[in-house]
Structure 1
Amino acid sequence: MGRNALVDIKRSLDEHIGSRILLKANGGRRKTVERTGVLEETYPSVFIIKLDEEQHAFKRVSYSYADILTETVELTVYQDNQEQIRITYVKQ
């Protein structure tokens, strides 16, 4: 499950590079942080989201694919036709 799951998550994100993203992350102590931006790049261990500048103090954030696997981070991709796709890992 481990290595293949992370590779599968990376592949699904590779298809959405340049797309608008809604990011929900666990901020600790029962806080959930919501940010919007664009999926900028994927690397072997992490992915980078360029945040909307007017809303956030940081320009970019990075998370690991394990964050999606453990559901610490939830990603929703917005398509051009207003369709929303949630990026998750489903065991096969």
Structure 2
Amino acid sequence: MPTSLSKIKLFLDNHIGQEIHVTAQAGRKRTNEYDGVLSETFPAVFLITLDSDEKLGQVSYSYTDILTKNIEINFV
């Protein structure tokens, strides 16, 4: 995974439209896992459109979440 915010954004820009699996830290020893499609990137955040069985519809994360390892992403 890239090691700077600009490289992370560029990396995600090149993967828009691809299926993604996200594991997010949700507190002490808890994680949330989502499957969806990387739909958009913005200057500070990126959007993931979740699969139809998810209740939320979309989630957004900042590039710093990847840099600080608060979330882990894997492209399917």
TM, length-normalised to structure 1: 0.77
Aligned to 1:46: 45
How many Å separate the matches in 2 of 1:51 and 1:29?
A: 24
2:34 matched to 1:35? yes
Higher RCO (C-alpha 8 Å, min separation 6): 2
Counterpart for residue 70 of structure 1: 68
Unaligned runs of 5+ in 2: none
Deviation for aligned residue 1:43: 0.3
CA distance in 2, matches of 1:45, 1:38: 18
Alignment of 1:1-92 (within 5 A): 5-54=4-53, 56-78=54-76
Letter of the 1:62 partner, please give it.
S
Taking only the aligned residue pairs, the percentage that are identical comes to 47
Q: TM-score, normalised by structure 2?
A: 0.93
Aligned-residue CA RMSD (Å): 1.1
Structure 1: which 5+ residue stretches go unaligned?
79-92
- One-letter code aligned to 2:45: V
Q: How many residues align?
A: 74
| Bigger radius of gyration | 1
